[in-house]
């Protein structure tokens, strides 16, 4: 018997910070500020309220909200009630959200007042079509009447839980639904152990401490905010909530609240770098990015603003980041362009991760030569328990205990991994493989280009040809012919886009470019 064993749970981070940093500001949400002591108390009251309403062990509690204090509190209050957290993508429509709630088995829905119409429609739809009774709780103050919300009334009238529940560290903590960019959304099951280890690893790699201030530009519903919802609290740092990633407002908060850290996809960082309110800060701003490789030109631009970027790689299935492009001090003296090239790599396993493999079609590890391409496969404590109610998909994704990511990469001689493309995004033209990421980075290096995405178009002669979708910087202009000529000077001619389409790029809620929508546009244009 392990007399001194204690199951790992990220909820313990709030218990510690709620006591150690009880008088320090833990959460800022607009004009509202909560000390860690108040934050801890509110989460315990939320747990008490859910228990009093009938939430039992393993009950699913869904949350539909932007980055607010309520969404953050749900990350603690729900598991404190021994329930399972299901955060919802606010950009989905009511049919999609109803499907996720039904699939997860959630009987409770916490929602922000901004989504009241959606919440009411979801509850009506489930009751009418499925006979499911959904208990809804509205949060967010009514500025017209100055009345407190149902959520605040509930916290004020509820008895707090006095002790944290005993947990199985391999038990179900949350269900996160994939973005659905490669098919129907799947419910990814997170366990307590993985969330705990992921959070502590992020604390170490991002150098979070009690003086840090995190601006929530990354949606908390996405991989539970890459587990920073728990990591920031573990460090005793301050959460600054932000309802939407508006670049002008982000810069205002960076200055007014002394922000030291933020996260976001490269598209989010690009909007920050190119905002009229952008300016170099007195102290370094640490940024954690992922979702797609940032172009070297973007990294150079961010560096000029005093923004230190750490590139990461991960999926919903890996609790967010699982690879970190860990910086080495000996690289500090390299030219800026070379530093940017190194930072664009996905890197190595973080502290809590099992070293990944890159394997060929026969399942053998590719040589670390920076040229041989294989698929990234992962396993370990920061990989999901599996897909909820989808055993077949779980087995298919990990036939030998190694999860197939679908991302194609090379391993450099120093052991750092660099993605070449998603397996579905490789363009095969005349028998030659074209990595869309390589072409995108060349296009993004043009001074007039803000961002680019390259996809395959069917071609009678070549099989497939690359087509580029490009967004230009405000006030800039470049013709299709000039941009193609620019690319021809910098890459093999068979890789050069045969067409360039200018305009805004479709993105999901985390800023990831939706290439499947671009492919659909191409196919529709050919019909």
pLDDT tens column, 283-301: 889 999 986 667 777 888 8
Q: What is the pLDDT of residue 460?
A: 63
pLDDT above 90 (res 218): yes
- Residue at a domain's end among 244, 265, 297: 244
Q: Does any domain span residue 329?
A: no
Q: What is the pLDDT of residue 492?
A: 76
275 with 260: CB under 8 angstroms? no
Q: What is the pLDDT of residue 228?
A: 98
pTM, full prediction: 0.84
Per the rule left: phi > 0, alpha: psi between -120 and 50, beta: everything else, 105 is left
Q: Does any domain span residue 299?
A: no
- Residue at a domain's end among 244, 270, 291: 244
pLDDT above 90 (res 173): yes
What integer best gives the mean pLDDT of the chain? Answer: 90
Going by pLDDT thresholds of 50, 70 and 90, the confidence category of residue 312 is: very high
Q: Does any domain span residue 308?
A: no
Going by pLDDT thresholds of 50, 70 and 90, the confidence category of residue 319 is: very high
Going by pLDDT thresholds of 50, 70 and 90, the confidence category of residue 461 is: low
- Residue at a domain's end among 208, 226, 244: 244
Nearest residue to 34 via CA among 65, 74, 82, 70? 70
pLDDT above 90 (res 210): yes
CA distance 326 to 341: 13
CA distance 200 to 416: 22
Q: Does any domain span residue 264?
A: no
The SS3 assignment for 395 reads helix
Nearest residue to 227 via CA among 518, 9, 39, 1? 9
Going by pLDDT thresholds of 50, 70 and 90, the confidence category of residue 170 is: very high
CB neighbour class for 3 (10 Å; exposed up to 12, middle 13-18, buried from 19): exposed
The secondary element (H helix, E strand) that includes residue 87 is strand 84-87
Q: What is the pLDDT of residue 526?
A: 63
Q: What is the pLDDT of residue 491?
A: 78
- For residues 154-174, one letter each, b for 16 or more C-beta atoms within 10 angstroms of the residue's C-beta and e for the rest, the string is bbeebebbeebeebebebbbb
pLDDT above 70 (res 59): yes
Which one has a higher pLDDT value, 142 or 268?
A: 268
Residue-number span of the structural domain to which 436 is assigned: 426-527
Q: What is the pLDDT of residue 179?
A: 61
pLDDT above 70 (res 432): no
Per the rule left: phi > 0, alpha: psi between -120 and 50, beta: everything else, 119 is alpha
pLDDT above 60 (res 181): no
Percent of the chain predicted with pLDDT > 70: 94
Q: Does any domain span residue 443?
A: yes
Q: What is the pLDDT of residue 293?
A: 65
**Averaged pLDDT for residues 450-456:** 91
Q: Does any domain span residue 289?
A: no
Which one has a higher pLDDT value, 527 or 49?
A: 49
Task: Give the CATH number for residue 465.
Answer: 3.30.300.30
**Averaged pLDDT for residues 18-27:** 98
Going by pLDDT thresholds of 50, 70 and 90, the confidence category of residue 183 is: very low
Q: Residue 527, CB half-sphere, CA atoms under 13 Å: how many? A: 6
**Averaged pLDDT for residues 210-230:** 96
Q: Does any domain span residue 282?
A: no
Going by pLDDT thresholds of 50, 70 and 90, the confidence category of residue 144 is: very low
Q: What is the pLDDT of residue 180?
A: 46
pLDDT above 60 (res 146): no
Q: Does any domain span residue 120?
A: yes
Nearest residue to 261 via CA among 290, 291, 239, 233? 239
453 with 473: CB under 8 angstroms? no
- Counting the structural domains of the chain, the total is 2
pLDDT tens column, 367-417: 999 999 999 999 999 999 999 999 999 999 999 999 999 888 999 999 999
Q: What is the pLDDT of residue 298?
A: 82
End-to-end distance of the chain based on CA atoms, in angstroms?
A: 68
Q: What is the pLDDT of residue 182?
A: 41
Percent of the chain predicted with pLDDT > 90: 69
Task: Give the CATH number for residue 42.
Answer: 3.40.50.12780
pLDDT tens column, 65-101: 999 999 999 999 999 999 999 999 898 889 889 999 9
């Amino acid at each position: 018997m392990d007399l001194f064993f204690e199951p790992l749970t990220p909820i313990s981070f709030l218990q510690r910070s709620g006591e150690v940093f009880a008088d320090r500001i833990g959460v800022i949400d607009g004009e509202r500020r909560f000390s860690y002591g108040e934050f801890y108390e509110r989460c315990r009251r939320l747990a008490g309220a859910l228990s009093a309403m009938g939430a039992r062990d393993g009950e699913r509690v869904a949350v539909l909200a932007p980055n607010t204090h309520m969404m953050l509190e749900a990350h603690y209050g729900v598991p404190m009630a021994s329930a399972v957290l299901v955060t919802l993508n606010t950009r989905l429509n009511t049919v999609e959200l109803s499907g996720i709630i039904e699939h997860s088995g959630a009987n409770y829905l916490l929602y922000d007042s901004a989504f009241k119409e959606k919440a009411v429609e979801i509850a009506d739809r489930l009751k009418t079509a499925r006979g499911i009774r959904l208990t809804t709780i509205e949060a967010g103050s009514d500025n017209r009447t100055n009345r407190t919300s149902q959520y605040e009334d509930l916290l004020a009238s509820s008895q707090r839980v006095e002790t944290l529940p005993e947990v199985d560290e391999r038990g179900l903590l949350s269900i996160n639904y994939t973005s659905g960019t490669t098919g129907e959304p799947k419910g990814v099951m997170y366990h307590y152990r993985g969330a705990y280890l992921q959070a502590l690893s992020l604390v170490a790699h991002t150098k979070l401490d009690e003086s840090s201030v995190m601006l929530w530009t990354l949606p908390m519903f996405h991989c539970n905010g890459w587990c920073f919802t728990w990591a920031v609290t573990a460090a005793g740092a301050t959460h600054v909530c932000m309802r939407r990633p508006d670049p002008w407002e982000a810069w205002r908060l960076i200055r007014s609240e002394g922000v030291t850290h933020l996260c976001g996809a490269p598209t989010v960082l690009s909007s920050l770098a190119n905002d009229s309110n952008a300016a170099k800060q007195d102290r370094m701003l640490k940024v954690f990015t992922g979702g797609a490789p940032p172009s070297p030109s973007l990294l150079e631009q961010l560096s000029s603003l005093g923004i230190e970027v750490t590139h990461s790689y991960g999926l919903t299935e890996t609790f967010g980041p699982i690879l970190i492009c860990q910086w080495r001090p000996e690289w500090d003296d390299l030219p800026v362009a070379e530093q940017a090239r190194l930072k664009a790599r996905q890197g190595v396993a973080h502290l809590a991760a099992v070293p990944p493999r890159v394997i060929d079609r026969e399942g053998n590890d590719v040589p670390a030569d920076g040229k041989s391409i294989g698929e990234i496969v992962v396993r370990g404590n920061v990989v999901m328990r599996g897909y909820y109610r989808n055993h077949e998909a779980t087995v298919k994704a990990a036939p030998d205990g190694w999860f197939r990511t679908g991302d194609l990469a090379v391993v450099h001689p120093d052991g750092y991994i660099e993605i070449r493309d998603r397996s579905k995004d490789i363009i095969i033209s005349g028998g030659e493989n074209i990595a869309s990421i390589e072409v995108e980075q060349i296009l993004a290096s043009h001074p007039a280009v803000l961002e680019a995405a390259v996809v395959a178009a069917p071609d009678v002669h070549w099989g497939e040809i690359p087509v580029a979708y490009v967004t230009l910087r405000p006030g800039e202009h470049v013709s299709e012919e000039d941009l193609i000529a620019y690319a021809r000077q910098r890459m093999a001619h068979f890789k050069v886009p045969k067409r360039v389409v200018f305009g805004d790029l479709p993105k999901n809620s985390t800023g990831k470019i939706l290439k499947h929508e671009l492919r659909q546009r191409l196919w529709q244009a050919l019909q």
